[in-house]
Amino acid sequence: MIEVTAPGKLYIAGEYAVVETGHPAIIVAVDQFVTVTMNAARKIGSIQSTQYSDLPIRWTRRNGELVLDIRENPFHYILAAIRLTEKYAQEKNVLLSFYDLKVTSELDSSNGRKYGLGSSGAVTVATIKALNEFYGLELDLLEIFKLAALAHLEVQGNGSCGDIAASCYGGWLAFSTFDHQWIHQQNNCSVTQLLQMDWPGLLIQPLEAPKDLRLIIGWTGSPASTSDLVDQVHQSKEQQQTRYQEFLAESKKCVEQIIQGFLTDDVPLIQQMIRKNRQLLNELSHLTGVTIETTALKELCELAESFDGAAKSSGAGGGDCGIVLFNQKSGILPLMSAWEKAEITPLPLHVYTRCRKEAK
Q: Checking phi first, is residue 130 left (phi over 0); if not, alpha (psi -120 to 50) or beta?
A: alpha
Does the pLDDT value for residue 110 go beyond 60? Answer: no
In the structure, what pLDDT confidence band is assigned to residue 223 with cuts at 50, 70 and 90? Answer: low
Does the pLDDT value for residue 122 go beyond 80? Answer: yes
Cβ atoms within 10 A of the Cβ of 93, count? 6
CA 213 – CA 26 distance, rounded (Å)? 14
- Give Cα separations from 33 to 9, 117, 144, 151 (angstroms): 9, 9, 17, 19
Question: Which of 17-31, 127-141, 162-176, 213-227 shows the lowest per-residue confidence on average (mean pLDDT)?
Answer: 213-227
Does the pLDDT value for residue 81 go beyond 90? Answer: yes
Domain borders along the chain are 2-207, 213-347
Give this prediction's pTM.
Answer: 0.88
Contact status, residue 203 vs residue 256, Cβ threshold 8 Å? no
Pick 347 or 357 by higher pLDDT: 347
CATH number for 2-207 (one of 3.40.50.720, 3.40.50.2300, 3.30.230.10, 3.40.50.1970): it is 3.30.230.10
Does the pLDDT value for residue 160 go beyond 80? Answer: yes
CATH topology for the 213-347 domain:
Alpha-Beta Plaits (3.30.70)
Q: Residues of the chain with pLDDT > 90: what percent?
A: 69
Contact status, residue 173 vs residue 207, Cβ threshold 8 Å? yes
Dihedral in degrees, nearest 10, Cα atoms 231, 194, 123, 172: -80
Pick 232 or 242 by higher pLDDT: 242
> Looking at residues 78-90, what average pLDDT do you find?
96
Does the pLDDT value for residue 144 go beyond 70? Answer: yes
